[in-house]
Amino acid sequence: RMGRGEVWALRDRPVGDVPAIEALCISALRESRAGLSLECLTSMLLERLPSPRPERAFVAGVVRVCPGVVIEDGWCFYGRPRRKLVQLMKVLIEVGMPLHVRIIKERLNRRLPEPSTSHAVHEYLSRESDVFVRVAPGTFALKEWGSSG
């Protein structure tokens, strides 16, 4: 725990690894505009850290308190909350296939307190081209699915 210039930690934890873990975390999240799940990010960091590696729970804990990291529904981002992005991804993941913007909008509006229009959802999906791909007029899929959905 940090505060007032003091550092408190558990005796058997590799506190000296924290700056390196934070730097790797921020780097990985800056590379991935789409964000990474906490599980995926933790695994990625463990692969990149030199041996002896800290425990998985310790690395995940460092990610949770890393400055600038925002965790939204289990997804990690750097900089700002990405609630709408996470919810749009979940809509498509739950269905498992491309959907038309109107259907995406209806399902998104059930998840978020502030309603969106079809036009606004279409613009958002088009702008987030690292995550979503248009597969037909007004129809979007997750980019990781390829063009077949």
Q: For 31-45, how does the pLDDT look when each residue is reduced to its tens digit (9 = 90+)?
A: 887 789 999 999 999
The model's pLDDT over 64-74, given as tens digits with 9 standing for 90+, comes to 999 999 998 88
pLDDT of 124 over the 50 cut: yes
Contacts 24+ apart (CB under 8 A), 77-86: 77/29, 77/35, 78/26, 78/29, 78/30, 82/35, 83/112, 84/108, 84/112, 84/116, 84/124, 85/34, 85/35, 85/124, 85/128, 85/131, 86/35
- Phi/psi region, residue 74 (left: phi>0; alpha: psi -120 to 50; beta: rest), is left
What CA–CA distance (Å, rounded) separates 124 from 65? Answer: 29
Q: What is the pTM of this model?
A: 0.65
Residue 70 or 5, more confident: 70
The model's pLDDT over 87-107, given as tens digits with 9 standing for 90+, comes to 999 999 999 999 999 999 999
pLDDT band at 144 (very low <50, low <70, confident <90, very high): confident
What's the mean per-residue pLDDT of the chain? 87
pLDDT of 126 over the 60 cut: yes
pLDDT of 79 over the 70 cut: yes
